Amino acid sequence: MSKAKSKPKPKQALGTPKAAFEPRIVSFCCHYCSYGAADLAGTSKMAYPTNVEIIRVPCSGRVDPLHVLRAFEEGADGVMVTGCLKDQCHFVTGNIHAEKRMQKLAKQLDAIGLGGRLIFELMSAGMANKWVETASTFYEQILALGPNPLKHHKKEVKSD
C-alpha cells in the first residue's frame, strides 16, 4: 500500500477569523411544488448546501416583502423565494403576484446595498435537479458577496 501525500495546511494570516464565512440562506418554498422539489432532492440524496433553511409556505404568493426583510434583519445572508411553474399554481395566480412583488423588492434591495441577495424561481415538485442547482448557484453567489451587512448593524436591546 502506498501512502497518499497530504497537502500542507496553509498558515492562517494574523488578524483573520478562524472560521470561514458560511452563508445562511432562507428559502421560502411553496407547499405544492418547490417544497416537493426540495423534498425530492433530499430523499434522492442529492447534494446541496446544508446552510439553506427551508420555510414551507402555502403558496409563494403568501410571501410578503416584510417576510424577506425580516429574514435579512434576523441574519440571513440570502433569501430564496420559490413557487409553482407559470399556469400551474394551486392558488391560480399566487406565483405571478409573488414574482412581481419579489422583482420590485429586489430593485429596492439594490438601492440600499443588498442587491443580489434575493432570488425568485419557479419549479414543479418533480424538478429536484433545478432546486439543487438553484440553491447551489445562489449559495456560491452569496459566498462571493460576503456576509449580510445588516448583521453588523443590528442593535442589541439590554434588559434589566
Q: What is the DSSP string of 56-68?
A: EES-GGG--HHHH
* Average pLDDT score over residue span 53-65: 96
Sequence ranges of the domains in the chain: 41-144
pLDDT band of 150, cuts 50, 70, 90: confident
The confidence score (pLDDT) of residue 10 equals: 42
Residues 6+ away with beta carbon under 8 Å from 119: 78, 79, 80, 81, 134, 138
Helix axes 128-145, 34-43, angle to 10 degrees: 90
The confidence score (pLDDT) of residue 5 equals: 45
- Statement: residue 1 has pLDDT above 60: no
Cell representation of residue 103 = 422583482
Of residues 4 and 87, more confidence is placed in: 87
Q: How far is CA 115 from the centre of its chain?
A: 14
Radius of gyration in angstroms for the set of CA atoms belonging to the chain, rounded to a whole number: 18
The confidence score (pLDDT) of residue 72 equals: 95
- Statement: residue 135 has pLDDT above 60: yes
The confidence score (pLDDT) of residue 156 equals: 57
The confidence score (pLDDT) of residue 153 equals: 61
> Per-residue pLDDT tens for 81-110?
999 999 999 999 999 999 999 999 999 999
Residue 17 carries which side chain, given as an amino acid letter?
P
Q: 153, exposed or middle or buried, with CB in 10 Å at 0-12, 13-18, 19+?
A: exposed
Give the mean pLDDT of the chain.
Answer: 87
DSSP code of residue 81: E
- Statement: residue 73 has pLDDT above 60: yes
Q: Cα separations (Å) of 63 from 6, 19, 100, 138, 144?
A: 48, 33, 12, 19, 26
